[in-house]
Amino acid sequence: MRWILSISIAIVVLGGCIYYMVNAGHSGYDPELQTPDIDAGGLQHGDRLTPLGCLLYTPLSYNDDNYFYNIATYRNGKEVRSVGRPCSDLQKQVVFEFHRDGTLAYWFKKDYLKSTTDTITYSGGGISTTHTILPSSELHLKNIYRSGKWVADFKDSTLTIDFGTNDFGLVPFVGRYTTLGAGRLVLCQTIDFDSVINGKVERFIKKINTYYRSY
């Protein structure tokens, strides 16, 4: 999937999703992926991505921003503990891509045969680094793995990411997305457990947040 979008983009948060408003034309318009943004006066201000459009927009990778990527524990509805959960070396390496047919492709940054990052050194000594986000079909890689699958229910925001049978230790992730946008995804996995406090059994809730963004 490849779209031509303008560089004028605004971000709107609606119901836990971040929608990108695109203020120019595009190719390959698909109502399942994009919907017109029409104001009360009937004027159209570009398009916004649907939740499906957000998932298919670009490949994603783990990000270790601890504001999103953490483990929070709640007791009686109140947060009692929150700790950062940095990405493992494996998580930092993997990039995955949702496909419309429900399959999931993934690869590792160390396997790039042609780097997607360019570094320019200016005459004054300044350095500029740019990174090009490309779909798997345009990458030069040693390996692309296509054994994964994904399932989403956009009514209740549940999402399953399954890397399939693999030798890398990548396990499925099942949770609800709390943020969804073009190139940005935050998934929350909720676990209930009991613990004895002063001889009394109490119920705790643990929320594990995982942050993904364009690689």
Q: Each residue of 40-70: pLDDT tens digit?
A: 666 766 778 999 999 999 999 988 765 566 7
In tens, the pLDDT along 147-166 reads 999 999 999 999 999 999 99
If one compares 146 and 73, the residue with the highest pLDDT of the two is: 146
DSSP sequence for 110-166: GGBSS-SEEEEE-TTS-EEEEE----GGG--BS--EEEEEEEEETTTTEEEEE--S-
If one compares 168 and 18, the residue with the highest pLDDT of the two is: 168
Contacts of 15 (CB under 8 A, 6+ apart): none
The rounded distance, in Å, linking the Cα atoms of 3 and 144 is 22
Two structure tokens written together for 167: 């030798």
pLDDT in the model for residue 67: 59
| DSSP-based three-state secondary structure for 81 | strand
Q: Which of 78-87, 91-100, 132-141, 171-180 has the lowest mean pLDDT?
A: 78-87
Beta bridge mates, 14: 17
Two structure tokens written together for 55: 């998932």
The rounded distance, in Å, linking the Cα atoms of 183 and 56 is 9
In tens, the pLDDT along 87-122 reads 788 988 999 999 999 999 999 999 999 888 888 888
**% of the chain at pLDDT higher than 90:** 41
Tell me what the mean pLDDT of segment 168-179 comes to: 92
